[in-house]
Amino acid sequence: MAVKTMMLTAEEVEKAAALLRNGEVVAFPTETVYGLGANALDREAVEKIFQAKGRPQDNPLIVHCFTRAQLTDLVTEIPPEAKILMDKFWPGPLTLVLPKSAAIPQVVSAGLDTVGIRIPDHPLALELIQKTGFPLAAPSANLSGRPSPTRAEHVWADLQGKIPAILDGGETGWGLESTVLDCTVKPFRLLRPGGVTLEELQALTSIQVDTTIYGASLDATPASPGMKYQHYAPQAEVFLVLGQNTPAKIGELSEDYLEVGKRVGVMTWDERCQLYPRLTCLPMGPSGDLSILATKLYHLLRESDRLGLDVLFIEGVSEEHLGLAIMNRLRKAANEQVIHT
C-alpha cells in the first residue's frame, strides 16, 4: 500500500527521530550517500528497509552509531588495529566489520556472525542518531540495483510512496559509499573501496584486498555479500572503455547504434566532450579530478536515464586513491562489459 512520503527539513529532525522511535524507516543524509535507516535493534523495523528497497535478504546492513560508546553492546571484540583506524577515520566513510553481539538481530547481519559499523561524518545524521537513542541500520536509500542517492530528490525518485519520510540535507559530500573493511581476519581485508582510500589504510596497517572489487563472476561467493549484486546500473547498456585510444574506439562502436537511431552518450572529463561531437556528453568534471568525479558519479548515471540514453560509453580513470572506488562502481554499472583499446 502506498504511503505519503514527507520531505523533512533539517529543522524537522525531531519528526524523523519520532518516526524511527515508532519502528518506522526514514531516509537521511550522510557524508557519503543517503541512507534508509531503521532501529538496528528492532527486527521488524529493519525488515521494512528490505521491503522498501526490494533488497535481497542475504545482503547485510551497515549499523550507524553516534559515539564509540555504543559499540560496547553491538560487538564482542575490537582488535587494537581497528581502534587505531577508528581514531584516525571516525567519524567518516569507513565501515569496520567486527564480530557481532547477540543484540544485533540476524536480519541486520543477514545471518552472518559479523556486523559492519561506522560513525557517519554528517551533522544531521549524528543529530538524528543521537535523538533516537539507538543505532541505525541503514543501506543506501535507493531501490536495489539503482545508483545510490546523493540528493534528497534521488531518494524521492526511488522510494516516494514506499517510506514515510526523507530528511533533506542537500547534496552529500563524498558521493560514494563508505569503504568496507573486514577486521575479523588478519591482515584486515578490503571488501569495498570507498571514501577512505586503500593507500590511507595501508599507511596505518597491512591490508589484503578482496579481488572481487576488481570485478568477478556473479557466481563467485564474495566476502561482502552485497558485492555480488549488480549495482549502480542506469537503464542504458553501459560499456567501460579503457586505454589510450578511447575516442577512436568509442567513435567506431557508436556508429552501429547511431545508424539505427539509438541515443548514445559518453561520460568523460569536461575537456574531452569535444572529442565526441555526435554523442550526448555527461561531463565528469575537470580532467583528472577524482574527488569532483566522485561527487557527480551517481547523479550522472541517473542523468543517463533522464536523457533516455540507450547506450552509454564511459571512459575509465586511474585506479589510484579515490579512483579505485570510482572504477569499482563503474565496472558494476557496466556489468563487467569492459573494452580495452
Answer yes or no: are the C-beta atoms of 297 and 195 closer than 8 Å: no
Residue 70 interacts with Mg ion (CB under 5 A): yes or no = no
Bridge partners, residue 36, by sequence: 27
Can you tell me which of 19, 60, 124, 267 binds ligand TXA, judged by CB under 6 A?
Answer: 60
> Listing from the earlier edge strand, what are the strands of the sheet with 94-99?
6-8, 165-167, 26-28, 35-39, 136-138, 62-64, 114-118, 94-99, 179-182, 188-192, 207-209
Residue 191 near which of Mg ion, ligand TXA, none (CB within 5-8 Å, type-dependent): ligand TXA
| Window 111 to 140, contacts with Mg ion (CB under 5 A) | 140
In whole angstroms, the minimum distance from the beta carbon of 203 to ligand TXA comes to 21
Binding status of residue 117 toward ligand TXA by CB under 6 A: no
Q: Is 145 in the site for ligand TXA (CB under 6 A)?
A: no
Distances (CA, A) of 10 to 20, 169, 172, 331: 16, 6, 14, 35
- Decide whether 42 or 210 has the Cβ nearer to ligand TXA: 210
Question: Does position 140 bind ligand TXA by CB under 6 A?
Answer: yes
- Among ligand TXA, Mg ion, none, the one that 184 touches (CB under a kind-dependent 5 to 8 A) is none
17 CB burial (10 A radius; 0-12, 13-18, 19+): buried
Pick between residue 231 and residue 249 the one whose CB is nearest to ligand TXA: 231
Q: Which positions ≥6 away from 46 have C-beta within 8 Å? A: 38, 39, 40, 61, 105, 107, 108, 137
Q: Note whether 144 binds Mg ion by CB under 5 A.
A: no
- 68-107 positions binding ligand TXA, by CB under 6 A: 93, 95, 97
Q: How many residues at the interface with ligand TXA, by CB under 6 A?
A: 29
Helices (H), the chain: 13-21, 43-53, 71-74, 80-89, 106-109, 123-132, 152-159, 198-202, 246-259, 290-306, 322-333
Phi, psi of 153, deg, nearest 5: -70, -25
Is 62 an interacting residue with respect to ligand TXA (CB under 6 A)?
A: yes
What residues from 161 to 180 belong to the interface with ligand TXA (CB under 6 A)?
177-178, 180
Residue closer to Mg ion, measured from CB, 159 or 311: 159
Residue 183 contact partner, candidates ligand TXA, Mg ion, none, CB within 5 to 8 A by sort of partner = none
Helix (H, G, I), strand (E, B) or coil at 221: coil
CB of 319 vs ligand TXA, minimal distance in Å: 19
Encode 301-330: b = buried (16+ Cβ within 10 Å), e = exposed.
Answer: bbbbbeeebebbbbbbbebeebbbbbbbbb
Contact pattern for Mg ion over residues 153 through 182, marking x by CB under 5 A: ------------------------------
Instruction: Report whether 83 contacts 97 (CB < 8 A).
Output: no
By C-beta, is 36 or 300 nearer to ligand TXA? Answer: 36
Q: Locate 218 and state its grid cell.
A: 556473479
Interacting stretch for ligand TXA, rule CB under 6 A, among 109-117, 237-245, 306-314, 324-332? 109-117
Chain residues that interact with Mg ion, rule: CB under 5 A: 140
Chain residues that interact with ligand TXA, rule: CB under 6 A: 30, 32-33, 35, 59-62, 93, 95, 97, 109, 112, 114-116, 120, 138-140, 177-178, 180, 191-192, 224-227
